[in-house]
Structure formats: structure tokens, C-alpha cells
Amino acid sequence: MSVSGGVEFSPERGRAVGCDVIQIFSKNQRQWAVPPLSEYTVQKFRDNIQKYSIQTSVIHDSYLINLASSEPEIEKKSRQAFLDEIERADALGVPFLVFHPGAYKDSDPESGMKRIAGCINRSLEQTDHASVILLLENTAGQGTSIGSTFEELAWIIGQVHDRRRVGVCLDTAHAFAAGYDMRDEKTYEQTLDTFDRIVGLNYLKLFHLNDSKTGLGSRVDRHENPGKGNIGLGLFRTLVNDSRFQDHPMILETPGGDAYFRNNLILLRSLISKQDAP
């Protein structure tokens, strides 16, 4: 949801298109330096979450942040900005902060993953007063990005000291582009079994429900509306009827704006089996 004019307006915008759950940026995602949240904004956001019956809210961190960077200036800015994201989520009462693990660029994957884990640990130690859960988002595998394999996600989580405050956001388009097929019930179960064996389903806290413009294993991140891409509706039908995830927040990051969000929500809800509906 847009936060134009202030994050406090996002719950109303979410309700207007039929959302029970919203995801926002807590600040301009293209700028390092931003003003702190005012007490008015914080209270108004919290009030509007209740007023517009938003069950869960999620913050996605800034696109500028790269926790895997080996460049000193970027590493320093990323650490501070990431810490600020956690503090903002805590102030707003947002339970989940989703972030891309990062890209190692001129370094190597192992060093990049160590830097990510180190930053997570430092951030958790500095925010031990908060309950915000940090969610690593799986990636499509473009370039030097980390997190396209379940093994990489598991390794990072394994290095975290306080694992009560860390988890995974599974993006369906990213998983598909990374080579994980879930288009029918058989491949869906196989992929989730693999995730459970390597990472653990207990760490899976949130879904991004996106179709993919690109093919299986393409390693290219291009989102599409559900049923309009190379994944098709099979995955989404199976997922919204999986009782294991009945209470898991599910977010659309699809193209087209609010009108498409509204139609996609109607479509996804229409896939829910009546006998399984809560």
C-alpha cells in the first residue's frame, strides 16, 4: 500500500481495496536519510490499523539496504538503516520486517552470508526491547543476490543467536524463478517438503503471492498477476487451501495498482474451498 502523505493513511487504503493484511515501506525506499516518525503519525497508524480492521501489517525494508555488501560505506549505511527499520516497525506496532538478504557483488557468497548474519545478530542485540520478527525473503537468484536457495537461507538462520525473532518470507515468483516448481499439488508438496527439511516450516511466517513473467529456473525477477504468468493458478489454489498456512499473512506484490489488487484478492478468495474456509 502507498504511504503517500504518511504511513498513517495506508490502513484505510488497504481496506478500500479489500485487504486484511497490508505491506508498506515505512519511509522513502530510495533515500538513506529520512526524518523520524512523529508521535502523531505513530499513534494515528496504530489507531487506523484498528479502525479499518487490518489483521496484520508488514514493513518491507528499503531497496538501498545491502547487508551483504563488502564496501565499507554501503555496509555502514545499510547496518544503520536496517536498525532504523526495526525501530520504526517497533514504534508502529508492526510485527514483521521483510528484507532481501543482499548481494555480495565484488566479494563472494560465503563472506556475504557471514556479513548478513552478523548484521542480523547486532541488530537483534540492539533491539532486544522489540518483538519485531525479521523475515529473510527468498530471491530469484539474479546476479550476485543471496537467498535464492533454501540452503543459503538455512545457513544464515543457523548463525542467528536469537532465532525466535527471525524467519522467512516465501515469495512464490522468486522461488519459481530460482528453480522451485510448485505449479501442481505434487510439486508443491515436494518443494515444501524440501523447505521443511532444509530450513523448517516453523520458520515460514509469511507469503508473497506473485505469479512470474519468466520461466522456471530463469533467475529473473519479474512479477505477474496470479494466473497470468508462467506459474498459473494451480499453486495459488493449493496454497490458499493449505490448512497449515490458514493464519499466515499473504501479500500481493503484483503490477497494475489498486484496481488489480482488488481483482486479485477477489480471485484468490474465490479459490478457497468452501469446506475449508474459516
How confident is the model over 226-265, as pLDDT tens digits? 999 999 999 999 999 999 999 999 999 999 999 999 999 9
Question: Which pLDDT score, from 0 to 100, does residue 278 have?
Answer: 46
Average pLDDT, integer, range 33-60? 97
Residues noted as catalytic: 30, 60, 63, 100, 137, 171, 174, 208, 221, 223, 253
| CA dist., res. 23 & res. 60, Å (int) | 7
Average pLDDT, integer, range 12-22? 98
Domain boundaries defined on the chain: 7-270
> pLDDT (tens digit, 9 = 90+) per residue, 190-232?
999 999 999 999 999 999 999 999 999 999 999 999 999 999 9
Strands 223-224 and 211-212: antiparallel
Percent of the chain whose predicted confidence (pLDDT) is above 90: 96
pLDDT at 115 over 50: yes
Apex 164 CA angle, 138 and 171, nearest 5 = 15
Angle between helices 72-92 and 39-51 (to 10 degrees): 60
Average pLDDT, integer, range 63-91? 97
3-class secondary structure per residue, the chain: CCCCCCHHHHHHHHHHCCCCEEEECCCCCCCCCCCCCCHHHHHHHHHHHHHCCCCEEEEECCCCCCCCCCCHHHHHHHHHHHHHHHHHHHHHCCCEEEECCEECCCCCHHHHHHHHHHHHHHHHHHCCCCCCEEEEECCCCCCCEECCCHHHHHHHHHCCCCHHHEEEEEEHHHHHHCCCCCCCHHHHHHHHHHHHHHCCHHHEEEEECCEECCCCCCCCCCEECCCCCCCCHHHHHHHHCCHHHCCCCEECCCCCCHHHHHHHHHHHHHCCCCCCCC
Question: Which pLDDT score, from 0 to 100, does residue 277 have?
Answer: 46
| CA dist., res. 194 & res. 200, Å (int) | 9
Better pLDDT: 30 or 134: 134
Apex 116 CA angle, 133 and 88, nearest 5 = 40
Confidence of residue 275 (pLDDT cuts 50, 70, 90): low
Which residues, in sequence order, are CB contacts of 96 under 8 Å at separation 6+? 56, 57, 58, 59, 89, 132, 133, 135, 169, 205, 206, 249
> pLDDT (tens digit, 9 = 90+) per residue, 147-161?
999 999 999 999 999
Confidence of residue 96 (pLDDT cuts 50, 70, 90): very high
Q: Are 87 and 101 in contact (CB under 8 A)?
A: no
Question: Which pLDDT score, from 0 to 100, does residue 97 have?
Answer: 98
CATH class of 7-270: alpha beta
Instruction: Give the position of cell 543467536.
Output: 161
> How many CB atoms within 10 Å of residue 157?
18
